Structures are given as C-alpha cells and as structure tokens.
Amino acid sequence: MNLEKIRKKIKKKVGIDVKVSEELHAIKLEGNAKEWEQVVKAGYIAADSKCKGVINNILVDTIDDSISKPNFYNEELDQEECDVLIIGAGIIGCSIARELSKYKLNIILVEKEHDVAMHASSRNDGMIHPGFAPKINSLKSKMNLRGNYLYNKISEDLDVEMNKTGSLILFDSYKTLPLSLIFSIKCKKINLESKTLLRKKLLELEPNLAEKVKWGYYLPSAKVMSPYLMTVAYAENAVNNGIKLYLDTCVMNVVRKNKEITHVITNQGEIKTKVVINAAGTSADIIADMAGDRFYTIHPRKGEIALADKKVGKYFNRIAGMPEISLKSKSKGGGLIKTVAGNILIGPNAFEVQKKEDYTTSNKSLKEMINDRLEIIKSVHQRDVITYFAGTRAATYKEEFIIELSENLDNFIHVAGIQSPGFASAPAIAERVENITLEVLNKSFNVEKNKNYNPIRRKNKNLNIMDKEERDKLIHKNSDYGEIICRCEEISKGEIIDALNSPISVDTVDGIKRRTRAGMGRCQGGFCMPLIMEIISEYKNLKMKDVYKKNSESTIVVKETK
Ligand SMILES: Cc1cc2nc3c(=O)[nH]c(=O)nc-3n(C[C@H](O)[C@H](O)[C@H](O)COP(=O)(O)OP(=O)(O)OC[C@H]3O[C@@H](n4cnc5c(N)ncnc54)[C@H](O)[C@@H]3O)c2cc1C
C-alpha cells in the first residue's frame, strides 16, 4: 500500500491533510476536517486501495457519536457464564442465536435496548432482495442469494408471512432496452430467474403503472416480509430453544487475556464467555475497538421511509423502482413496496450522517422522495402517506459484509457492515456464523446437538385474517377476542394480551405495536394508545406512569391521576 500516494490524493481531492498509516492490514486515517462529507470522501479514497478495511479516525468539530444506552447499572449478570455471547438482537443476532440453539450450548444474547429489532431491523423495507444488485462473487452476493432461498423454509417454520411478489426494475425509455441484455447475462451467471417485459405485459402485473413507464426487468424471486416480525420470530424460537436473552444490557467493554476475550462488561455485570459474536449493527466498530481488533469504520447511511394508507394498497402489488428516479440527487435507494400488511412503502433515500442512531426525518427530503417515487404509479398521492420514519445502514468504506473470525483473537467473530441486503441475507449469514462458531468451539470440546431443538414456532392469532366462523369460535371461547382495541387495524384485546404473554416479555406500547399492529393504522394510535396502556398496566401490574412508549426515556403519562 502506498500510504503517501493516498495522503496526497486525499489532500488534492478533499482538501485536508491527514495522517495515513497501516494497522491490522487496514488503512488508518487521522486528522481533522471541517465537514462530515470530507471525512466520508477521504474514507472512500483510502478504501480504493488494496487494504482489508479503513479505520477512519478523522474528526470534525460537530461530531456527535452518542448512542442510546440503558440508564442504570447493577451486578445481576455477574455470575453468568456462557459458551457463546452474541452482542445485538437485530435480525442478525437473533438469526444467529436461533441457528446456534440447535446445539447443546449455553448461549447468551445481549441487547442494549428494551426489545429486539429496535434499530435497522425495524427501520427497513422488508425486501428479500433477489440477489441481482450485489457484485458477482462478493460476500454480499453469496449471502443474498442463499438467504433469499433459505427464507422459503424459515418463514414457514417460524410462521412469518412472506409475499412472493417479485420485483420490477422500470425504465421510461425504449432507448435503455439494450440494458436488458446486460441484465440477463448477469442473471444467467448467478442462476437467477428473470424476464424482460414491455409495457403491455407489465400492465398485466401492475395495471396502475404511469404512462411514462415503457419497459421493465422482472425478478420473480424477490419477496416481502415484515422485518421486525421476522426478528421477533427468530428471537422467540431461539428463546424457546434455551438461549438466554438479556434486554437493557449494553456491552461497555471487553476483557482480553492474550489472544482471547474472557469476559464482556455490561451495565448489568460481567459475563464470562468462550466466544463473542459481534452483531452490533452500526455500533459493530465500537465493539471491535473494545476488543482491540477494529479494522473498519461504520459510517452510518440514513434512509427515510414513508408509508401510504392501506386504502390505496389496491393500486400496487409488488416491488418496483426506477433507477433514474432513485438515483436522482445522488440518493440511491428503493422505490415502492407493497408490504405484507397491505400498505405501500415508499423509499428509502440515502444520506451520509455522523450519528449512528440518527433517526430524524426532514420534511424537504421526505416530500422530494415521496413525489419522485410515486411518479411510477397512478392514483397514489402524497396525501395518502400516514407515517414516516428513518433508519441507518451500517456501511463500511469497502461496502462489503464482514463475516469472519478475527485474525488476532481466537474467539471473536465479526459480523459487521451488514447493510442492505442484510435482512435478505440474514439466514445465510447465520448459517456462516454457525459454522465459524462450531469450528472455534470444537477445538476445546465436542459440540453436541440439542436433542430438544424445535425449529417450529407458531405465531399468535390474527383476528383480522380469520373468517367469521373462526372468529366466532374464538370469541365464544374467550370474549377478549371480541373487544376491538385498535379500530384501524382491527386488533382485539385478546391479541394484545397474547403479545404480553409471548416468549419475549413486552411491556411497552411500541412492543405491542410491533407484534400486533395495534396503532399502525391511519390514526397512528391516536384512539387506541390509552386503551393499550391500560391493558399493559393491568396485565403487567404497572402504574400508568410506568407504561412507556419505547423505553423508560419515553414517558407518556407524567403524573398518575388515579
Ligand atoms: C432504510 C433502510 C432500508 C433497508 N432496506 C432493506 C431491505 O429492504 N432489505 C434488506 O435486506 N436490507 C435492508 N436494509 C438493511 C437491513 O435493515 C440491515 O442489514 C439489518 O437490519 C441489519 O441487522 P443487524 O442485526 O445487523 O443490525 P440492527 O438491527 O441495527 O441490530 C444491531 C443491534 O445491536 C445492538 N447493540 C449495539 N451496540 C450494542 C452494545 N454495546 N451492547 C448491546 N447491544 C448493542 C443495537 O441496539 C441493535 O439492536 C435496510 C436498512 C435501512 C436503514
């Protein structure tokens, strides 16, 4: 690596003079910049060279790298010992936990938040990408193709609804038609089913496409799922198979002895472990740093997403995007997705941000994105949007997944840089991490199968998809199912109580919302939130002021009135 050449290039192209060195086979950048954009640009220049990764330590004055953490400390987990400790209960940590629960191992999954799927895994599009976009033979490509395939069985085993919609890449000019040849060559290479469709055929699939759409490339293997329901399902199945999940438990440091991590230090005490799996999403580089094994930097890339009311869901059935539109104003991202619940999801866009958990949204960029993306269909308008939110992607400068055993530590596994298509790839990533973990553990003892492992999980009842006879039967048995709490989504008291009694204890309004959809409709909880709070308060024996929206930082009732 020619470090001086990189330094000069950064100076010329970005206008900052930074120190460039080599560490852990990665390029390390140190110095100061005025703007975050300069930091990111410098990172990409360094990543262009043949290095394992980029450690970008360039500072800007405005830096805000705070992340949410539990606000209490105790020693409750001090006596805990495990074979495998997984950090982070997003889709990646939970899918790994479930795969490893097949073995007779003592596994602990720690999550700093009050529930699973609180970050990227509940703030994404839920698209099971077909595997067309990643570079052929990249790790992303391999994981995406296999993940897409594995979800067919996993969604059945875990009882999570999945719509096999297929996706459409749309174009507004016949001049671009030769692209279909390039696309089909790529599809052949990766054994992906695909079809070129001219407007007439496209309209058979999507009758409401705008006049401007002339042709499209169809990838039938794309699917849609609810990302948070899938994460919850993975976590519940893992817990049912014996793994221990500790929520509100933040890893603050790790203890190293020679080439091994022996303990992790959390706000709830010190846990002894034989293997550590780093699935901490946008914070994976912080964990790697604690272990003294950081050869990458995560630079968060925010994406805003808007959701249109179910009432316009009938105008669109699949996944579709127009690259020309998504790439406008340098913001790559998605187009439109019909969710499993029947809403039309719009977006995301993409912006580099400093803060790992920057979930702010901007009126300007949202409006721009919604108008742009809706250009491809008729009959859906900005006024149909009922809510919006943002998530951050865990991008590294190499823009590749990192799924490997540390080169320097014998028991530390990196699962980092898991940005899109991370959700689509999760089952394959879990499979890969399972193999790495077994290889490490089998060096010290013979890992046996868990004879009681049960891959099947059944979800709680959903009244709104039952026929009248089935509903009546259920209500006759338990009248709580006859009391509708959320009118928009038709969610009953019985379903909310089921969620309160589910394998991962939920006691927040958002936890109930994610599991049942209560509060996800047009009124966004305006009517049902107080009722849901009362049910939580009664069944969890909590005062109303102790029923929170997301966690103890998001108080709803300030003062008890009764
Ligand atoms: C806007 C957007 C749209 C996307 N769309 C898609 C899509 O359609 N399809 C697709 O395949 N992918 C998509 N992705 C990517 C996908 O969301 C991610 O790849 C995936 O969710 C990553 O999962 P994860 O478990 O690694 O991260 P996360 O879900 O972020 O989980 C990491 C967890 O680690 C926890 N953690 C962090 N630090 C600590 C600590 N010190 N101690 C304890 N716990 C800790 C965090 O609290 C968090 O819960 C999208 C992403 C975004 C942002």
**Total residue length of the chain:** 562
C-alpha–C-alpha distance, residues 250 and 89, integer Å: 11
> How many Å lie between the centroid of ligand 1 and the Cα of residue 90?
6
Does residue 362 sit in the same domain as residue 304?
yes
CATH number for the domain spanning 356: value is: 3.30.9.10
Q: Is 124 in the pocket of ligand 1 (CB under 6 A)?
A: yes
How far apart, in Å, do the first and last CA atoms of the chain sit? 69
Q: Are residues 86 and 49 in the same domain?
A: no
Report the nearest-CA residue for atom 45 of ligand 1: 88
DSSP state of 448: P
Question: What stretches in the chain show pLDDT beneath 70?
Answer: 1, 325-333, 560-562
Q: Please indicate, yes or no, whether residues 322 and 421 belong to a single structural domain of this protein.
A: no
Q: Give the 3-state secondary structure of residue 31.
A: strand
Contact 432, 99 (CB under 8 A): no
Quote the strand ranges of 342-384, DSSP E. Answer: 344-346, 351-352
| 339 touches ligand 1 (CB under 6 Å) | no
Q: For ligand 1, atom 50, which residue shows the shortest CA distance?
A: 124
Measured CA to CA, the distance from residue 207 to residue 340 in angstroms comes to 19
Distance 487 CA to ligand 1 centre (A): 31
Would you say residue 501 lies in a domain?
yes
Per the structure, the count of domains in the chain is: 4
pLDDT at 327: 53
Indicate if 316 and 199 belong to the same structural domain: yes
The CB of 111 under 6 Å from ligand 1? The reply is yes
Name the nearest CA neighbour of 375 among 169, 172, 129. Answer: 172
**Percentage of residues of the chain with pLDDT beyond 90:** 91
Same domain assignment for residues 524 and 470? yes
309 and 390, same domain (yes or no): yes
Same domain, 86 and 232: yes
Give the position, in ligand 1's atom list, of the atom nearest the Cα of 252.
Answer: 41
Q: Is residue 151 part of a domain?
A: no
Mean of the per-residue pLDDT values of the chain: 95
Q: Which entry of 25, 114, 119, 129 is annotated as an active-site residue?
A: 129
Distance 283 CA to ligand 1 centre (A): 10
**Where would I find the H helices in 279-337?**
284-290, 323-326
Whether residue 68 lies inside any domain: the answer is: no
- 146 Cβ below 6 A of ligand 1: no
- Domain range holding 7? 3-60
Domain assignment present for residue 156? The answer is no
Q: What is the pLDDT of residue 464?
A: 85
Instruction: For residues 37 and 96, state if they share a domain.
Output: no
The amino acid at 239 = V
Q: Is position 263 annotated as part of the catalytic site?
A: no
Specify the pLDDT at position 562. 56
Q: What is the pLDDT of residue 375?
A: 94
> Could you tell me if residue 451 is inside a domain?
no
- Where residue 56 sits, what CATH number does that domain have? 3.30.70
Q: In Å, how far from its chain's centre is CA 203? A: 32
* CATH number reported for the structural domain that contains residue 518 in this entry: 1.10.10.1100
Strand partners, 30: 19, 57
Half-sphere exposure of 543 (CA within 13 A, CB side): 10
Residue 477 has what pLDDT? 95
Å from CA of 180 to ligand 1 middle: 33
